């Protein structure tokens, strides 16, 4: 410890006791604390996005991508049946995935919120662990399950139910749906769990004491109070699903590809950056629109912290 000499005290404290709320101002100047992060995000977060927006009005030819101001790319996105159908199909798959994850996650989240002590700690930890496992791996694992030499075919053959491996388990929309549900379920379970966890047990008790049946306690107390978590999970899963690339690429085959794969191919295969940008900006616009609509019920930062507002 450095010795604090008494004569330093008045000089240092004088100008700090000036805040409205009577507290002491936190240390540091906001401008200096914020600028490194803000500059990074402006330069590498916002500027590239603005550049993409600009490029979506350019034109790409085999000679490269040239500045222009044309709406042709967007017209092509909306008018071409192929792209429009891909977009609708992707929205449909994302919607189905979201609905499915709510249904399978809610009961588990509810059970977790009712547990106590070590049992709870263990099950919650087990919920987190696969979260921290690469989604590339979690999509990949379905290949040796659903494939020709996969676990299911092998089991069915061993049981004598089929003679030759069945091919239709993999490389279709159903496999993509299953993969997406598997990869993204936890993004639903955790926020629901967090919001259930927050419910004051006294409310449930009060309802019970006042004669409410279990079903109506659930419907009228627990369900409404867990709504922020459900909403947060739905937004996360929907956003992740409409921009999926890995899962449909691995499990989808030609019939199961999604909008993300269409976008990626413009950059990885066709080199049509201007058109790819228009496809991308369309996706970003859908995402932003969705967040704007949902912001009526949930603040943006709460979506990513598990719906903790209420």
Partner 1 sequence: MVSITAGQENIAKRSARKPARSHRPYSGYRTALWIYAGAFYTFLYGPLLMIVLLSFNNSEIVGFPFQGFTTRWYDVVFASPALLKALGNSVGVGILAAAIATTLALSLAMGFRHQFRGKSIVLYLILVPIIIPGIIGGIVLLIFFGFSGVRSSLWTTVLVAHVNWVLPFAFLTLFPRLHGFDRALEEAAMDLGARPWEIFTRIVFPIIRPGVIATALFSFSLSFDEFIRTIFVSGFDRTIPVQFWGLIVDELAPELPAMAVLIIVISIFSSLVGFYFMWRASRSAATYARKAS
3-state secondary structure of 60: strand
The CA distance from 226 to 196, in Å, is 5
Residue among 66, 75, 78, 144 that touches partner 1 (CB under 8 A)? 144
* Ranges within 38-77 binding partner 1 (CB under 8 A): 38, 40-42, 44-49, 51-52, 55
174 sits near partner 1 (criterion: CB under 8 A): no
* Nearer of residues 173 and 235 to partner 1, judged by Cβ: 235
Residue 96 has a CB neighbour count (10 Å cut-off) of 15
Judged by CB under 8 A, does residue 254 bind partner 1?
no
Question: Quick one: which of 18, 22, 36, 254 contacts partner 1 (CB under 8 A)?
Answer: 36
134 binds partner 1 (CB under 8 A): yes
Give the Cα separation of 187 and 80 in Å (integer).
Answer: 34
Of residues 214-233, those binding partner 1 (CB under 8 A): 214
Q: In the range 275-304, which residues lie near partner 1 by CB under 8 A? A: 276-277, 280, 283-284, 287-288, 291-292, 295, 299-302, 304
Q: Which is nearer to partner 1, 132 or 168 (CB)?
A: 132
| Minimum distance of partner 1 from residue 143's CB (angstroms) | 7
Q: Can you tell me which of 22, 27, 61, 82 binds partner 1, judged by CB under 8 A?
A: 27
* Candidate list 101, 232, 260, 278; residue touching partner 1; CB under 8 A: 260
183 burial class (0-12, 13-18, 19+ CB within 10 angstroms)? buried
Among 83, 147, 238, 256, binds partner 1 (CB under 8 A): 147
CB of 240 to partner 1, least distance (A): 8
Dihedral of the CA atoms 185, 186, 189, 192 (nearest 10)?
A: -110
Residue of 188, 184, 180, 194 whose CA lies nearest to 124: 194
- Cβ atoms of 273 and 163 closer than 8 Å: no
190/112 Cα distance (integer angstroms):
10
Residue 103 touching partner 1 (CB under 8 A): no
What size, in residues, is the chain? 310
For residue 137, give the 3-state DSSP assignment.
helix
Contact 253, 170 (CB under 8 A): yes
Residue 253 as a binder of partner 1 (CB under 8 A): the answer is: no
Tell which one of 91, 96, 99, 204 touches partner 1 (CB under 8 A): 204
205 forms beta bridges with none
């Amino acid at each position: 410890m450095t010795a604090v000499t008494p004569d330093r005290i008045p000089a240092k404290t004088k100008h700090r006791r000036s805040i409205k709320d009577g507290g002491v101002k936190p240390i540091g100047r906001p401008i200096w604390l914020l600028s490194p992060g803000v500059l990074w995000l402006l330069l590498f977060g916002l500027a590239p996005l603005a550049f993409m927006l600009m490029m979506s009005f350019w034109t790409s030819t085999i000679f490269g991508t040239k500045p222009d101001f044309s709406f042709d790319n967007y017209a092509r996105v909306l008018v071409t049946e192929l792209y429009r159908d891909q977009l609708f199909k992707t929205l449909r798959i994302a919607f189905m995935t979201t609905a499915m994850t709510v249904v399978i996650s809610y009961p588990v989240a509810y059970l977790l919120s009712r547990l106590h002590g070590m049992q709870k700690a263990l099950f919650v930890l087990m919920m987190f662990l696969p979260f921290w496992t690469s989604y590339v791996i979690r999509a990949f694992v379905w290949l040796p399950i659903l494939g020709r030499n996969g676990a299911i075919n092998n089991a069915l053959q061993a049981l004598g139910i089929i003679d030759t491996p069945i091919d239709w388990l993999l490389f279709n929309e159903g496999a993509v749906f299953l993969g997406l549900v598997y990869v993204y379920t936890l993004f639903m379970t955790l926020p629901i769990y967090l919001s259930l966890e927050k419910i004051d047990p006294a409310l449930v008790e009060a309802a019970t004491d006042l004669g409410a049946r279990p079903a109506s306690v659930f419907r009228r107390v627990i369900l409404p109070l867990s709504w922020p978590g459900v909403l947060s999970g739905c937004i996360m899963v929907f956003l992740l699903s409409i921009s999926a690339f890995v899962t449909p690429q691995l499990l989808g085959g030609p019939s199961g590809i999604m909008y993300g794969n269409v976008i990626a191919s413009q950059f990885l295969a066709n080199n049509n950056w201007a058109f790819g940008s228009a496809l991308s900006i369309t996706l970003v616009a859908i995402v932003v629109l969705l967040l704007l609509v949902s912001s009526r019920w949930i603040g943006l930062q709460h979506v990513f912290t598990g719906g903790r507002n209420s």
